[in-house]
Every structure is written in C-alpha cells, then in structure tokens.
Amino acid sequence: MIEIDGSYGEGGGQILRTAIALSAIIKEDVTIKNIRRNRPKEGLKPQHLKSIETIAMICDADVKGLFPGSTQIYFSPSEIRGVKTNISIGTAGSIPLLMQSIMPIAAHSPEKTSLRITGGTDVAWSPSIDYIKEVTLKALSKMGYRASIRLIERGYYPKGGGAVEIEITPSRIKGVDFKAEKNEIYGVSHCSNLPEHVAKRQADSARKLLEEYGRKSHIESKTENYLSTGSGITLWSGLMGSVNIGKKGLPAENVGSQAAQMLLDELLAKAAVDIHLADQLIPYMGIAGNGSFTTRELTPHCLTNIHVTEQFLDVHFAITRDNGLNKISVE
C-alpha cells in the first residue's frame, strides 16, 4: 500500500486527484492523510468527493473515509471498466477538475466512458471548460489520448447548473517532447444573464491589448440565459492558454485585458507549455514513461504533482534549465 501525505507541497485537492487516479491505474491501494491541509478549510469538498465516488465506480474500489470534510481516505481499486452515467457535483463545483481526475483512468478502460457532468464550467482556481477542450485536450491528443468534450450549458459560481458531456475512448498514452509552437490566438468571451456588452467588452479589451503586442486574435463573444449568472473569458494559442472569470466590481475591460496579459506572459516566454498545462501533463508523462517540455515557471502544483507521480510509478522527472526556461523530462 502507498501512503500519501496530502499536506505535501501545494497541499491542495490535486494531490488527491493524482494519487487516486494513479492508484486505480496501477491497481495499488493508497491511504491519503492530511487531505487539503494547506487550504483554509481542510478536507474533502463536494468536487473531490464526487471525483473519488466516480473513480470508485469506474474501478469498483473499496473506499473508506469518504464524507464531506474528511481528512483521510483509504482507496482500494479493482478492474477499470467503461461507464456511462450522469454525475452531479452540485452547485458550482468545478466540472473541469472532476474531469482532470477521471481522464487518466478512463483511457485505461477496455470500453468507452461517457459522462454527463453538472456543476460549474467557469469557476475560479480551476481550468475553464474551454481551457480543458482547447489546451489540455490538444496537448493530450498529441500523446495519443482520445476524448471529445461537448459543452451544453455554462455554470458559474455560486449557482452552477452547467452541463458538459465527455466521451473518452481507450487509448495508449505515449511520451512527447513538446516544443514551442507559433499559432494564432483564439478565444471565447461569454456571459449569462448579463447584458451582451459584458462579453463584448471583455473580448474587445483582450483583442486591443494583444494587438498592441502585434498579435492578431479571433475571439468570439457569446451571451446566453443559463441558470446561473456570470461571465468569463478563455484565450488560447497552441499549448498556451489563459482564463479569467468576471466578478462583481471587476470591470469587463479588466477581465479581458488581464486574460490577454496572462496569455502574453506565456507567449513572450516562448516555452512549450503554459504553467497550468505543465502540472496537468505530469501524470500522463509518468504513465507514458517518457516525454519533456519547457515551461516559464515551476509552480508548487507542478512540483507537487511530480512528487506524487514518482510515489506511484517507476519514473524520475529531471528538472533542468534550458535557454532561461525550466525543462522537465522523464528519465
């Protein structure tokens, strides 16, 4: 049995997602203690509970300690199988983060996995659904990963009510040496139950700042009347993305220009992947047993994911410097 200390490094929910996913893939029991110790309110939140419940269903696992606020769980997996089911995280729990926990496992199933997930699609401290589709999945597809994602309705904090369908096809993950790419910039600026000009102003201000740096962009504006009220913007270019969520008191112009600035920070660094994709790729590179990328900054999320992945798989990640960037390679 593997023991993981959930307070290590970043000490957040990602340790849990990576540990449970890898436990299911290598079929080895795991105990995780001190869950989310470094967060203001430690223990399992609805998003984490639903992730573990869904993974337990996919691999017929025996789980102990699965309740809201729990700080220790024991997870004992069996065979992975394809499932077709609906999952409701409730309110605005992050759909992309639940997907992050399930995606590595579903690729190892002998059958397809089809999930319809309800919750939040565009919430703070999480990739947006557009980021998962346009950045994460694009990188993973280069590694042989096969999935399709369909956005049905957006869900914003606090009401949620968003819905997404994901279908994952069994696939073999292979390592890739990711290189910096030069691509056009795309984006989607959206709002719900707010005037049309909110999404438009977000898009216009992002476009304007990108133009000042000589970058042309194609940003769609969308206004809908969904269950929840909110706004946001996701920009992407190759394997770089940026996400910003609107909030009361933050002018739409700032939502757009901050997203553009975050993307520019990534593009100007000329690394292969952005700082968020970097941490997300680690478990897949571990599974593949090879691959590399450069990234602008090594985040605590990335370093923690490396540590957790190394506890489960017989891999070592080397961290070196390459032309002023951080290079991560599987050895």
Which residues are catalytically annotated? 301
Number of residues that bind ligand ATP (CB under 6 A): 15
Both tokens of 60, joined, read 């017929």
Evaluate whether 18 touches 51 at the Cβ level (below 8 Å): no
DSSP conformation class of 71: -
Quote the tokens at residue 187.
């984006």
Q: Does 160 bind ligand ATP (CB under 6 A)?
A: no
Residue 78 near residue 60 (C-beta atoms within 8 A):
yes
Asked if 14 touches ligand ATP (CB under 6 A), the answer is yes
Give CA–CA dist 16/48, Å, rounded.
8
Q: Does 13 engage in binding with ligand ATP (CB under 6 A)? A: yes
- Kindly give the residue spans of alpha helices, DSSP state H, lying in the chain: 13-26, 46-58, 95-106, 129-131, 137-142, 196-212, 252-269, 275-288, 300-312
Question: Is residue 70 close enough to count as binding ligand ATP by CB under 6 A?
Answer: no
CB of 283 to ligand ATP, least distance (A): 10
Task: Please say whether the beta carbons of 84 and 49 come within 8 A.
Answer: no
**Binding site annotation covers 100?**
yes
C-alpha 226/C-alpha 241 separation (Å) is 25
Instruction: Note whether 255 binds ligand ATP by CB under 6 A.
Output: no
Comparing every residue's Cβ against ligand ATP, the nearest one is 13
Distance, in Å, from the CA atom of 136 to the CA atom of 104, rounded to the nearest integer, reads 12
Q: Is 24 annotated as a binding residue?
A: no
Nearer to ligand ATP, 27 or 219 (CB): 219
Query: Per CB under 6 A, does 215 bind ligand ATP?
Result: no
Could you tell me which stretch among 12-20, 59-67, 200-208, 290-298 binds ligand ATP (CB under 6 A)? 12-20
Nearer to ligand ATP, 111 or 250 (CB): 250
Q: Return the number of the residue (130 or 204) whose C-beta is nearest ligand ATP.
A: 130
> In degrees rounded to 5, what are phi and psi of residue 13?
-70, -20
- The neighbouring-strand residues paired with 116 are 86, 165
Site string for ligand ATP, 19-48 (x = CB under 6 A): -----------------x--x---------
- Could you tell me the smallest distance in angstroms from the CB atom of residue 240 to ligand ATP? 10
Contact letters for ligand ATP, residues 178-197 (x by CB under 6 A): --------------------
- CA R_g for the chain: 19
Contact residues for ligand ATP, defined by CB under 6 A: 12-14, 36, 39, 97, 125-127, 131, 243, 276, 279-280, 301
